[in-house]
Chain A
Amino acid sequence: MENRKALVVDDEFHIVQVVAIKLKNNGFDVVTAENGSDGYDLASETLPDIIISDYQMPIMSGVEMIEKLRQNPETAHIPVIMLTARGFAIEDEQKEQLRVSACLSKPFSPREVLATIEDVLKQDAAV
């Protein structure tokens, strides 16, 4: 069975690294980007099963990246989990509009990230 693919986007290197290691250790192929612009390019190129993205990033923010992803028919369906240091940075309305599957606020637990990814992928598969 082919490994599931995950894209981790965060300008904080240590966050990207820890999430990537957790996912790799649990059977994911992981690609990483340090801003929204690079994240969109990688998503378009690799078409991951799931994207884990930071909210605030230089060059292009997480929200801007998701908006762009939703406009692209090839990436519009990819579920996104958002990591943020601000617990209420995304309003429910915006979350729904962008079809953000889940939000996790920092400091987060890698276990929690993995569990959330599994839940989202299950729901996505069920649909």
Chain B
Amino acid sequence: MKTEQKIWIALAAAGCVGALVAMIAVATSMPTGIPIVAALIICASIIGNLVVLFKHADRLQKIASALSVGSQVRMTAAYPPDSLLKEIGTASQRFMDETNEKVKTLQNENTDISLQLQLTQRRKNSIEAILNSIRDAVMVTDDRDRIILANAAAETLFGFEFDPLQPLVTEEAVSSDELVAAISKCRTSKTAHVRHELTFEKDEQPITYDTVLSCVEDDKGNVLQVVAVLHDITREKEISQMKNDFVSHVSHELKTPLASINAYAEMLVDGEAEDAETVQQFCGVIQGQAQRLSRLIEDILNISRIESGLVKVSKKTHSLALVIRDSVEMITSYAQEKSITVHSPASILYDQVTIDRDMISQVVINLLSNAVKYTPANGEITVRTDLNEIEGQITVMITDTGVGIPAEDVDHVFDKFYRVKANNKYAKGTGLGLNLVKQIVETVHGGSVFVTSTTGEGSTFGFVLPLLKETATQTV
């Protein structure tokens, strides 16, 4: 032990003794000089103790720390104070090192968890963005039949607002009993993947959904959630129905001339034509029906090409009056057979349009041909044009004094394969001619078609084409 330490310990001990004496003196009412001496001794001892305390404060702190955490320090009299303090210091240091290490580990783990949280949040945002950008309605229900996830399409479809904090009961939120039952059945049957075709009413319109239900199971095979994805197939079904109708119509239209060809050919083979004239007649029927079949196929292909955008269009600047004049000339002989008079339009200036001449010719011929077909003998057909420079368009109208079209049929005459039943007896047709007119005018030339009719008085069929903006002087 160092001398300095001994002195201080001695001072401390003296202080203690002095304090003891002072207390005794006070207690026994000793002369006043003695307490003063005792007080001095007490002050010295206090100062000594304080110095010791300050000098060894760090060690004492370590001892206190070690003791407070139960460090393995043996406090025996056999250990000299230096060794004790050293051991306490080493243990404390080790403890501090270990603690620091643990803190660092915890800090690292905390950083990892924070990163993972951020990553999870990003994934969640990403999944939500994906779900909400899907047009299909997606909905997840839990084992208590509550909606725990729904995208915007599902909200719109069923008219609810999804709140993850207040899950809705499926039965209350979903208006389709069929879907609720399907979800419930999927859960109870634990079927991994089922498909349903469900039809809902939306804005008083039936909408059909291809619905896929999938179960989410835990490790033990218990169904935790059911995921429902609803894909709107209304349009697909409509297209499919239209395709079926089209095939049915085409089949019907093709079979009719084919039936005649087949029957008359068989009659010829069987010698049912008794004379040369009948043979000639049968051959004529076969030829005529074959041509009808050919026209039909050509019309179907033309419409199909226009609809699919595969038609080759060659647009140039033409005078529409000249196109009409040529078409009228082509139809005149047919009209004369029925003693029908065709009045051509007066020529007009600046009727330049950018058109595919062959196609527009076909439009005018189809309309004129129909007018002749459905106009009784000695009737009249008038072709007129109306130029509207303000609107930048030209209108062509073909008016007949024919049988007219019943009011209930007027809106459908441009539909594919539509035939006015009441007028079937006047002429045969494929039901494609007017649809072809519509396709050529509207789809190819950006114009419009129209019809007005009065039964027994006649009809006016027409079309509107946009004029060439910069009126060209060149006429093809």
Q: CB of A22 within 8 A of chain B?
A: yes
Interface size class, chain B: 20 to 34
Query: Considering the chains assembled together, what is the distance between the CA atoms of A108 and B266 in angstroms?
Result: 10
19 pairs of residues in contact across A and B, judged by CB atoms under 8 Å: A12-B256, A12-B259, A12-B260, A12-B428, A14-B263, A14-B264, A15-B256, A18-B264, A18-B285, A21-B272, A57-B424, A58-B423, A59-B421, A59-B424, A85-B252, A86-B251, A106-B255, A107-B255, A108-B259
List the A side residues contacting B278 at CB < 8 Å: 21
* B262 adjacent to A107 (CB under 8 Å): yes
* A58 adjacent to B422 (CB under 8 Å): yes
* A106 adjacent to B258 (CB under 8 Å): yes
Query: Considering the chains assembled together, what is the distance between the CA atoms of A21 and B424 in angstroms?
Result: 24
Q: CB of A29 within 8 A of chain B?
A: no
* A18 adjacent to B260 (CB under 8 Å): yes
With A35-B425, A58-B425, A86-B248 as contacts: A22 and B258 at CB distance below 8 Å: no
Please name 5 further chain A to chain B contacts, defined as beta carbons within 8 Å, in addition to the given A12-B260, A12-B428, A15-B259, sorted by A numbering: A18-B260, A85-B256, A86-B251, A110-B267, A110-B270
Question: Chain A interface secondary structure, helix, strand, loop or mixed?
Answer: loop
List the B side residues contacting A109 at CB < 8 Å: 262-263, 266
List the A side residues contacting B251 at CB < 8 Å: 85-86
Tell me, rounded to whole Å, the shortest Cβ–Cβ distance linking A103 to chain B.
14
Q: Which residue of A has the minimal Cβ distance to B421?
A: A58
Q: CB of B393 within 8 A of chain A?
A: no
List B residues 260-290 near A (Cβ within 8 Å).
Answer: 260-264, 266-267, 270, 272, 274, 278, 285, 289
- Encoded as 1 (CB less than 8 Å from any B CB) or 0, chain A from 8 to 20 comes to 0001101101110
A-B residue pair count with CB separations less than 8 angstroms = 75
- Encoded as 1 (CB less than 8 Å from any B CB) or 0, chain A from 27 to 71 comes to 000000011000000000000000000001111000000000000
Q: Which of A56, A58, A107 contacts B259 (CB 8 A)?
A: A107
Q: Which of B259, B289, B428 contacts A85 (CB 8 A)?
A: B259
List the A side residues contacting B260 at CB < 8 Å: 12, 14-15, 18, 107
Q: CB of A25 within 8 A of chain B?
A: yes
Interface size on A, residues (CB 8 A): 25
Query: Considering the chains assembled together, what is the distance between the CA atoms of A3 and B422 in angstroms?
Result: 35
- Encoded as 1 (CB less than 8 Å from any A CB) or 0, chain B from 397 to 433 comes to 0000000000000000000000001111100100000
* A110 adjacent to B266 (CB under 8 Å): yes
Q: Which residue of A has the minimal Cβ distance to B292?
A: A14
Tell me, rounded to whole Å, the shortest Cβ–Cβ distance linking A76 to chain B.
27
* A34 adjacent to B425 (CB under 8 Å): yes
Question: Chain B interface secondary structure, helix, strand, loop or mixed?
Answer: helix
Query: Considering the chains assembled together, what is the distance between the CA atoms of A22 and B265 in angstroms?
Result: 12
List the A side residues contacting B285 at CB < 8 Å: 14, 17-18
Query: Considering the chains assembled together, what is the distance between the CA atoms of A85 and B296 in angstroms?
Result: 16
Which A residues form the contact surface with B (CB < 8 A)? 11-12, 14-15, 17-19, 21-22, 25, 34-35, 56-59, 85-86, 105-111
Q: Which of B252, B261, B272, B425 contacts A110 (CB 8 A)?
A: B272
Q: Which residue of B has the minimal Cβ distance to A61?
A: B421
Query: Considering the chains assembled together, what is the distance between the CA atoms of A92 and B261 in angstroms?
Result: 29
Q: Which of B252, B267, B428 contacts A86 (CB 8 A)?
A: B252
Q: Which residue of B has the minimal Cβ distance to A106?
A: B259
Query: Considering the chains assembled together, what is the distance between the CA atoms of A111 and B262 in angstroms?
Result: 11
Q: Which of A19, A21, A59, A85 contacts B255 (CB 8 A)?
A: A85
Q: Which residue of B has the minimal Cβ distance to A11?
A: B424
Q: Which residue of A has the minimal Cβ distance to B254?
A: A85
* A25 adjacent to B263 (CB under 8 Å): no
Tell me, rounded to whole Å, the shortest Cβ–Cβ distance linking B233 to chain A.
25
Tell me, rounded to whole Å, the shortest Cβ–Cβ distance linking B156 to chain A.
41
Tell me, rounded to whole Å, the shortest Cβ–Cβ distance linking B331 to chain A.
23
Tell me, rounded to whole Å, the shortest Cβ–Cβ distance linking A28 to chain B.
13
List the B side residues contacting A14 at CB < 8 Å: 260, 263-264, 285, 289
Query: Considering the chains assembled together, what is the distance between the CA atoms of A19 and B259 in angstroms?
Result: 11
Q: Which residue of A has the minimal Cβ distance to B419?
A: A58
* A111 adjacent to B255 (CB under 8 Å): no
- The 3 closest A-B CB pairs, nearest first, are A58-B424, A107-B259, A106-B259
Q: Which residue of B has the minimal Cβ distance to A113?
A: B263
* A111 adjacent to B270 (CB under 8 Å): yes
Query: Considering the chains assembled together, what is the distance between the CA atoms of A106 and B289 in angstroms?
Result: 14
List the B side residues contacting A111 at CB < 8 Å: 266, 270
* A110 adjacent to B263 (CB under 8 Å): yes
List the A side residues contacting B424 at CB < 8 Å: 11, 57-59
Query: Considering the chains assembled together, what is the distance between the CA atoms of A111 and B264 in angstroms?
Result: 11
List the B side residues contacting A12 at CB < 8 Å: 256, 259-260, 428
With A11-B424, A110-B272 as contacts: A22 and B259 at CB distance below 8 Å: no
With A85-B251, A86-B248, A110-B267 as contacts: A11 and B259 at CB distance below 8 Å: no
Q: Which residue of B has the minimal Cβ distance to A60?
A: B421
Tell me, rounded to whole Å, the shortest Cβ–Cβ distance linking A77 to chain B.
29
List the A side residues contacting B252 at CB < 8 Å: 56, 85-86
With A86-B248, A106-B259 as contacts: A18 and B425 at CB distance below 8 Å: no
Query: Considering the chains assembled together, what is the distance between the CA atoms of A21 and B266 in angstroms?
Result: 12
Q: Which residue of A has the minimal Cβ distance to B269?
A: A111
List the B side residues contacting A17 at CB < 8 Å: 285
With A15-B259, A106-B255, A106-B259 as contacts: A25 and B272 at CB distance below 8 Å: yes
Tell me, rounded to whole Å, the shortest Cβ–Cβ distance linking B223 to chain A.
44
